[in-house]
Structure 1
Amino acid sequence: MHPTDFTIRGALEALGEGIVTSEALTAAHLEAIEALNPRLNAFVTVTAERAMEAARASDRRRANGVARPLDGVPLAIKDLFCTEGTRTTAASRILGDFVPPYESTVTANLLRDGAVFLGKANLDEFAMGSSNATSAFGEVENPWKRGNDDGTRLVPGGSSGGSAAAVAARLAMGATATDTGGSIRQPAAFCGIAGMKPTYGRCSRWGVVAFASSLDTPGPVARTVEDCAILLGSMAGHDPRDATSADRPVPDFAAACARGVRGLRIGVPREYRLEGMPDEIEALWQQGLAWLRAEGAEIVDISLPHTKYALPTYYIVAPAEASSNLARYDGVRFGRRVEGGDLKDLYERTRAAGFGAEVKRRIMIGTYVLSAGYYDAYYVRAQRVRALIKRDFDEAFRSVDAIVTPATPSAAFAAGEKQDDPVAMYLNDVFTVTANLAGIPGLAVPAGFDRQGLPLGLQVLGRDFDEETVFAVGTAIEHAAKLTAVPQVRAFA
């Protein structure tokens, strides 16, 4: 077995038994990054020397009998998480040379538990996108291919496309990611891996570059549901520096994966059957429900009547918050500066040069909906609808334990295929944005393939702070699916 083929659970067991060392694991992943990153572009920054030092320190701890929960596991860190002494760019020119003097809470928690950081993963600029095509550092390539077509580059999804591509291609065992409208679950589904958006407040946002503060949710991506549970156990926890961080104990998420689903009631929302949805998505959905039924779960039809308003609501709330958050990038305090004739000119030149087209588009949308005369008509109304969407889920969870839907409306599409149509791009989030608006946990699970051999995922949604049930249902789907196919572009294929 090659070191890059280990799951996180498998690696921890092998490390504990002395079958492999963290130094060997880390070296193998760095070798894979060196070989494949020029093609996939999954990493913006690779921290090879730091990673090897951390791996050797991990091996010393293990030899001394003081191993930590994640000791020696090589991870990729989405380049939205501030990492002390390591460049953090948010995939934007405006932060191209920014080196934070502090560590985000989530990454500090992972370091506390012994994880090894391989480098910073590429993403859509400021996490705004569904294809990883808006990065100032170039597009990321999905390691999966359509059949035998090696010539067509497919998108990995976004915004956490670098994280998902790195994990799928065996360049990292797991990765941090963030989900504002589907940015963990959509790339996970496109790349054939698992991705968990926990409940809003479960993981601290302190030290995570902000997009939309009431929606942004850090979480893990990994090759299995259990690996996501292991990572979330380290990433989560109360943080007094984040006013939205929940002061709740962190359960044993990994143990919950083995619970099973017997006796659970699984909701199927009728509003998620969209007109024109590919028949293979519908077939996979039905197959997933059949697997759960066979394991003893009861399938229940439910209604989430305000679902149809979710996308327009999201694309008012998220840009509004983005326009406010991104006002701090003015060329004065930190980040890129382009000199001007006066202060106003400096602001304009700096922001024009520093922000890409999609970020500018969302700032302008957000500024418009917050402007005098439109604030009540758009932003206030969107917040009211958001409350109704949350109420729909609260009502549903009175009668069901979890909800299962498709993760995406299609498999991964070709690079450039939808890039000229922002609305078509935004529709990729149609199944995922409701969980962000409601703040509930959502998990993408690889469950099958389309006719061209591309991975498709199912989504499991749960009650606030009930990630345990979500992991249990996701594990049942994963075990029933028994997927063994691997991407064509991967380490040591």
Structure 2
Amino acid sequence: MPSETTQRSNYLEKPKTFAALREDILSRRVKAADLALSYYERIEQINGSLNIYLNLTRDRAIAQAERVDDAVAKGDPVGPLAGIPVGIKDVLVTRGAPSTAGSKILKGYKPPYDATAVSRLEAAGAVVLGKLNCDEFAMGSSNENSAYGPVRNPVDPERVPGGSSGGSAAAVAANLAVATLGTDTGGSIRQPASFCGVVGVLPTYGRVSRYGLIAFASSLDRVGPFASNVRDAATVLSVIAGQDPSDATSSTAPVADYAAESDKGADGLRIGVPEEYFGEGLDPEVREQIENGIAALKTAGCKVQPIALPHTRFAIPAYYLVATAEASANLARFDGVRYGYRSPSSNTLSDMYSHSRDEGFGAEVKRRIMLGTYALSAGYYDAYYLKAQKVRRLLAEEFLRAFADVDAIVTPTAPTAAFKIGEKSGDPLAMYLADIYTVTASLAGICGVTVPCGATKAGLPVGMQVLASHMNEGTAFRVARAVEAAQVQEQGSSCNSASQSPRGSQF
């Protein structure tokens, strides 16, 4: 007879949907506490080679899982995420657990409160397994900027998982969590989702509270979910979305049942394809998979038409002015005085400030602080920051005009599949250009979903980005579900090996 540990390990051989897990937990075929333990066993086996989790919250997770089991045993109602194991990007604070933002300057910091998105997950019954690795202060496109080492892509450990939410995407891809939370400032949910072959959601700015998020760029930062399928990601968004009195920028707009919205199908939806996203720099294999996805949308009954977004070419410089300027202001609070790292080699107050920040921040964070400080300095504000904000307005207006004619816009998420670790780390500009297709939506404040859309010949995942207008996440989910359905059908009829699938992880 197999041991209890073996039974738990067998339970995780194939990732399960929320619906399947919920049915198992409510029918008491599996206990939420056993499910959590099975994930901890898997984390222990795999995390050492992938570096996905920075810290585990085992006591909190088991206590939460036992509460779910008690409620089920008593026949009490449970939340929509009852017993679902989740992971949290380390830029979202978690009560009593280290919350470092991937930085040395916050090593050992244990906040006394939870981010709103975290508390809403737990209120819905989710089991928080731990904190996930990320680029330092969410600044990066490869997860190589973490002070605690890079995350490796579960599909190919020699490659990056994308950034900055690389740990969040990789955790779902490696089945080290059923769902995770990440953050997206210029593509930090969507690009890792594409590289790891999972679903990632960029909510409309203000749709999800930022309270408890360690800020990078406050007018751009957003919290969103990762999951292995569109419907589960939609379910998580419904849980974490909504107004929060602790965040003045959170929207009062009612929260839809996004999972139900995703069930409506895409027949009759008008889909725009911007020519600017299919030009120089787009890898031919990525282009082929995106074109296949567009063809699948036509088969699903969508009406596809070309559109123009000519200001797209200004998005990268505008983004890297706005984002770095806000980072310069936000990161001024990390000074070695109140919390976090303090340099031991300081004799004066001025030395303490400079040494603490120099030793505590990594190279990329210091580069962005310097860029942002320069853009905000006297004599340069109008020439750089103000001009970038004007370009941002032009981009937002351009999207508004486009959405008057189409219901959604589809593009590649990234110009390439996942690149090798170290391939671009010595060239900041090449790294910044990895966000070329994602920063536009960030600047405009609109919503989007990245959904797996095939793979390269080497088996590396390719993601399609589906963009929709403000507070119109339901439409983005409908289109993403249609792309997903086509992928499932293709994989079901294919005789290719698992290594040719976006989910073909060696783990």
- Fold match, TM over 0.5? yes
CA distance in 1, matches of 2:23, 2:162: 31
Alignment match of 2:133 (pick from 122, 125, 131): 122
CA distance in 1, matches of 2:318, 2:477: 28
Query: After the TM superposition, which residues 89-128 of structure 1 pair with which residues of structure 2 at under 5 Å, given as runs?
Result: 89-128=100-139
Task: Give 1:14 shift.
Answer: 2.1
Moved more, 170-179 or 11-20: 11-20
Q: Which residue of 2 aligns with 1:351?
A: 357
Task: Give 1:289 shift.
Answer: 1.2
CA distance in 2, matches of 1:263, 1:343: 65
1:136 aligns with 2:147: yes
Alignment match of 1:35 (pick from 45, 49, 52): 45
1:380 aligns with 2:391: no
Q: Which residue of 1 aligns with 2:505?
A: 488
Query: After the TM superposition, which residues 87-236 of structure 1 pair with which residues of structure 2 at under 5 Å, given as runs?
Result: 87-145=98-156, 153-236=158-241
CA distance in 2, matches of 1:67, 1:291: 38
Alignment match of 1:78 (pick from 89, 96, 104): 89
CA distance in 2, matches of 1:14, 1:301: 45
Q: Which residue of 2 aligns with 1:2?
A: 11
1:479 aligns with 2:485: yes
- Report if the CA contact (8 A) 2:281-2:415 is conserved: no
Q: Which residue of 2 aligns with 1:149?
A: none
Q: Which residue of 1 aligns with 2:328?
A: 323
Please list the CA deviations of residues 299-347 of structure 1 after superposition, one character each: whole Å capped at 9, or x if unmatched.
Answer: 0111111000000000000000000000000011111111422211110
- Report if the CA contact (8 A) 2:238-2:258 is conserved: yes
- Normalising by structure 1, what TM-score? 0.97
- Paired residue secondary structure (1:300): strand
CA distance in 1, matches of 2:367, 2:297: 42
Task: Give 1:361 shift.
Answer: 0.3
Letter of the aligned partner of 1:322 in structure 2?
A
Letter of the aligned partner of 1:3 in structure 2?
L
Alignment match of 1:20 (pick from 23, 30, 36): 30
Q: Which residue of 2 aligns with 1:148?
A: none
Q: Which residue of 2 aligns with 1:62?
A: 72
Letter of the aligned partner of 1:2 in structure 2?
Y
- Normalising by structure 2, what TM-score? 0.94
Letter of the aligned partner of 1:270 in structure 2?
E
Letter of the aligned partner of 1:259 in structure 2?
K
Alignment match of 1:395 (pick from 390, 401, 404): 401
1:281 aligns with 2:289: no
Task: Give 1:262 shift.
Answer: 1.0
- Paired residue secondary structure (2:129): strand
Letter of the aligned partner of 2:58 in structure 1?
A
Consecutive unaligned residues of structure 1, counting only runs of 5 or more, are: 146-151
- Report if the CA contact (8 A) 2:143-2:150 is conserved: yes
- Report if the CA contact (8 A) 2:86-2:129 is conserved: yes
Task: Give 1:213 shift.
Answer: 0.2
CA distance in 2, matches of 1:136, 1:33: 20
- Paired residue secondary structure (1:424): helix
- Paired residue secondary structure (1:49): helix
- Report if the CA contact (8 A) 2:205-2:445 is conserved: yes
1:342 aligns with 2:353: no
- Report if the CA contact (8 A) 1:3-1:24 is conserved: no
- Paired residue secondary structure (1:45): strand
1:417 aligns with 2:423: yes
- Report if the CA contact (8 A) 2:87-2:131 is conserved: yes
CA distance in 2, matches of 1:88, 1:277: 36
Please list the CA deviations of residues 349-407 of structure 1 after superposition, one character each: whole Å capped at 9, or x if unmatched.
Answer: 10011000000000000000000111000000000000000001000000000000011
Identity across aligned pairs (percent)? 51
- Paired residue secondary structure (2:201): strand
- Report if the CA contact (8 A) 2:195-2:418 is conserved: yes
CA distance in 1, matches of 2:290, 2:232: 23
CA distance in 2, matches of 1:208, 1:100: 11
- Over the aligned positions, Cα root-mean-square deviation in angstroms equals 1.1
- Paired residue secondary structure (2:181): strand
Task: Give 1:223 shift.
Answer: 0.5
Please list the CA deviations of residues 11-38 of structure 1 after superposition, one character each: whole Å capped at 9, or x if unmatched.
Answer: 1222223222211211111101000111
- Report if the CA contact (8 A) 1:448-1:455 is conserved: yes
Task: Give 1:104 shift.
Answer: 0.7
Please list the CA deviations of residues 254-274 of structure 1 after superposition, one character each: whole Å capped at 9, or x if unmatched.
Answer: 001111111110000111112
CA distance in 1, matches of 2:90, 2:105: 14
Letter of the aligned partner of 2:12 in structure 1?
P
CA distance in 1, matches of 2:160, 2:42: 20
- Paired residue secondary structure (2:155): coil
Please list the CA deviations of residues 212-244 of structure 1 after superposition, one character each: whole Å capped at 9, or x if unmatched.
Answer: 000000000010011100111111110111111
Please list the CA deviations of residues 78-97 of structure 1 after superposition, one character each: whole Å capped at 9, or x if unmatched.
Answer: 11111111110001000001
1:309 aligns with 2:320: no
Task: Give 1:55 shift.
Answer: 1.0
Task: Give 1:153 shift.
Answer: 1.1
Alignment match of 1:434 (pick from 434, 440, 448): 440
Task: Give 1:180 shift.
Answer: 0.2
Task: Give 1:46 shift.
Answer: 1.1
Alignment match of 2:265 (pick from 241, 260, 269): 260
- Report if the CA contact (8 A) 1:168-1:487 is conserved: no
- Paired residue secondary structure (1:187): helix
- Paired residue secondary structure (1:66): coil
- Report if the CA contact (8 A) 2:269-2:407 is conserved: yes
Letter of the aligned partner of 1:167 in structure 2?
V
Please list the CA deviations of residues 129-158 of structure 1 after superposition, one character each: whole Å capped at 9, or x if unmatched.
Answer: 01100001111010112xxxxxx6110000
Task: Give 1:489 shift.
Answer: 3.2
CA distance in 2, matches of 1:420, 1:276: 19
Moved more, 84-93 or 55-64: 55-64
- Paired residue secondary structure (1:220): strand
Matched length:
484
CA distance in 2, matches of 1:88, 1:230: 26
Task: Give 1:108 shift.
Answer: 0.8
CA distance in 2, matches of 1:276, 1:203: 33
CA distance in 1, matches of 2:25, 2:187: 34
